[in-house]
Amino acid sequence: MRLRSLAFVWLLAATTVSSAFAQALPRVHMVATGGTISNRDGGRLTAEELARSMPGLERAATLTHEQFLNVASSQITLDQWLQLARRVNDLFATDQELAGIVVTSGTDTLEETAFFLHLTVKDVRPVVVVGSMRNPSTLGYEGAANLLEGVRVAASPAARGKGVLVVLNDEINSARDVTKTDALRLQTFRSPTHGLLGIVDRDKVAIFREILQRHTHTSEFDVRTITSLPRVDVVMVYQGATGDVIKALVDLGAKGIVIAGAGAGATSGTQGEGIDYATEKGVFVVTATRTGAGRIAPNRGQGPATLTPAQQRRRAFSISSEDHIPVKARILLMLALSRTSNRDEIQRIFSEY
């Protein structure tokens, strides 16, 4: 009898200690959307299988998970972006104890989903987007390692307030700055102009700098009030390019066009005529650079009085992308157009985010 009650007391104590240990672990939620990290031959890994793939997870966090999508990143639609952003916001709003969220994604267009979340999630808690370059059927699959590092970053107090983060290959980049720079290499995710934010080492998550531009909790964009995103297209500049492509996009209903300009924003061939056509129709044209890095400075005011009416009209609908690459300028313009059709306001947005 005595032995039995001693055993009972021991069991009770052990349970209390282990649940206290479990409670002490930060709680992270994983939203799985698919991509190479899940793309196993013969059938994609589910969120459940991804969650079970990480040795050592039990020392990093308590992980819950959900299958939001299971597709290649380039198949994700604009409506799904809105739904994903709303879901992440809801998860935070309804669970104050949640430490952070990991979103798995294919890598091809990961930077777009990540930047959209960077602008639309209204919380200081970390959202970490994770993918892998090798699929689960490949020798050297790095998905489980990247995912565990993503969970550790999402659980880390050091990552709070830093906006949406992209974690692959032991490196932390800001969703604002990061881009995929190589079709195949593991070290593909780079922030060419500003560099990485931090690293994930065996002993700790180390953040070295932070983004001063507005994002997440300081963002003005609210996906609760956005029902759909306007059409915005990207047009590449190359020698001898024709402006009829730009005209066609305007006629197809584009509300904005991002020009992936040569160098510091030059156009080519007859593209100037296409831009005049767009601005005459009230379509905003954002100039970015196709070089992959660098800043396009905004125009100063209306310009000299000697400008022709067409040139003045062009100025009135022209915006500079600042240092956003064309695909991210497109996202920012779509969100800006959901709030305003005032040119100066849109330029302000480009300068503040």
Candidate segments 33-41, 122-130, 137-145, 208-216, binder of ligand DGL by CB under 6 A? 33-41
The residue annotated as part of the active site, out of 33, 36, 113, 216, is 36
Q: By CB under 6 A, name the one of 26, 34, 100, 274 that touches ligand DGL.
A: 34
Distance separating alpha carbons of residues 140 and 132, to the nearest angstrom = 11
Q: Measure the CA dihedral 76/35/350/213, to 10°.
A: 140
User: Could you tell me the two tokens for 287?
Assistant: 């100039």
- Told to judge if 36 belongs to the known catalytic residues of this protein, a careful annotator would answer yes
Cβ distance to ligand DGL smaller for residue 34 or 261: 34
84: CB partners within 8 A, 6+ apart: 31, 33, 68, 76, 103, 113, 116, 117
Site for ligand DGL in 101-160 (CB under 6 A): 106-108
- Cβ distance 133 to 185 under 8 Å? yes
39 binds ligand DGL (CB under 6 A): yes
* Least distance between ligand DGL and beta carbon 22 (Å): 33
Cβ distance to ligand DGL smaller for residue 34 or 126: 34
Site for ligand DGL in 238-257 (CB under 6 A): none
Cβ distance to ligand DGL smaller for residue 3 or 184: 184
- Cβ distance 32 to 68 under 8 Å? yes
Helix (H, G, I), strand (E, B) or coil at 249: helix
Site for ligand DGL in 68-87 (CB under 6 A): 72-74
Q: By CB under 6 A, name the one of 29, 30, 32, 35 that touches ligand DGL.
A: 35
Cβ distance to ligand DGL smaller for residue 34 or 198: 34
Q: Please provide the DSSP assignment of 154-166 as one string.
A: HT-GGGTTS-EEE
* Least distance between ligand DGL and beta carbon 38 (Å): 7
Distance separating alpha carbons of residues 65 and 190, to the nearest angstrom = 28
C-beta neighbour count of 223 within 10 angstroms: 24
Contact set with ligand DGL (CB under 6 A): 34-36, 39, 72-74, 106-108
Cite the active site residues: 36
